[in-house]
């Protein structure tokens, strides 16, 4: 029989799957709160549930290909669907297997000289844009990201919001072994 915590975990990842599959920006924004709850809050839901199972997390991603030395740096870069090996458009992309710490440090967006990691994007959407609560951008990085998001869209969504979908897909695949272990308990 599943514990209350395991049921919460299963419902959370089901909800995450629904949110990242949605075409509604409000629903996609809600994915940031769920990812934060699973991995970034003080009492990480994933860790609490995984104490019993001890499943090793492995995130499969396509990392950005570095520019050749000496080439000009683009002012704006966003990996978008290229993060997820199942939606990366470039054939032959190498798939990297990352630990949790490495995954959340992957740079998925560059604006000028500012780099934004997966963690940065999730916390921006959760804490500034309203995934958890609406806040005011405090750092220069947050102010720049908010400005770019208000002026540029990818697939009809703000750049950082749209990035949540690929991040969510990669996370769901990484936590599937724990989901299966709970369901087979």
Helix (H), strand (E) at residue 77: strand 76-78
103-144 pLDDT, tens digit each: 999 999 999 999 999 999 999 999 999 999 999 999 999 999
Taken as a whole, the chain contains a residue count of 185
CA 28 to CA 74: how far, in whole Å? Answer: 27
pTM over 0.75: yes
Over pLDDT 90: what percentage of the chain?
82
Q: Is the pLDDT of residue 91 over 70?
A: no
The phi-psi region of residue 64 (left if phi > 0; otherwise alpha if psi is between -120 and 50; otherwise beta) is beta
* CA distances to 73, 87, 88, 168 from 91, in Å: 23, 10, 8, 22
Section 64-90 average pLDDT: 85
Ranking 34-38, 64-68, 132-136 by mean pLDDT, the lowest is: 64-68
């Amino acid at each position: 029989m599943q514990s209350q915590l395991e049921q919460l975990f299963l419902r959370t990842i089901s909800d995450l799957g629904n949110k990242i599959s949605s075409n509604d920006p409000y629903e996609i924004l809600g994915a940031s709160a769920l990812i934060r709850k699973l991995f970034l809050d003080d009492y990480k839901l994933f860790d609490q549930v995984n104490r019993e199972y001890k499943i090793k997390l492995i995130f499969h991603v396509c990392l950005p290909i570095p520019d050749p030395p000496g080439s000009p740096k683009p002012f704006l870069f966003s990996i978008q669907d290229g993060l997820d090996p199942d939606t990366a458009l470039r054939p032959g992309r190498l798939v990297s297997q990352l630990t949790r710490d490495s995954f959340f440090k992957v740079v998925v967006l560059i604006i000028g000289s500012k780099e934004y990691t997966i963690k940065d994007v999730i916390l921006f959407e959760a804490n500034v844009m309203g995934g958890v609560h609406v806040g005011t951008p405090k750092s220069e990085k947050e102010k720049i990201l908010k400005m770019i998001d208000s002026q540029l869209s990818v697939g009809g969504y703000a750049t950082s919001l749209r990035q949540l979908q690929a991040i969510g897909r990669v996370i769901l695949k990484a936590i599937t072994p724990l989901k299966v272990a709970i369901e087979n308990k």
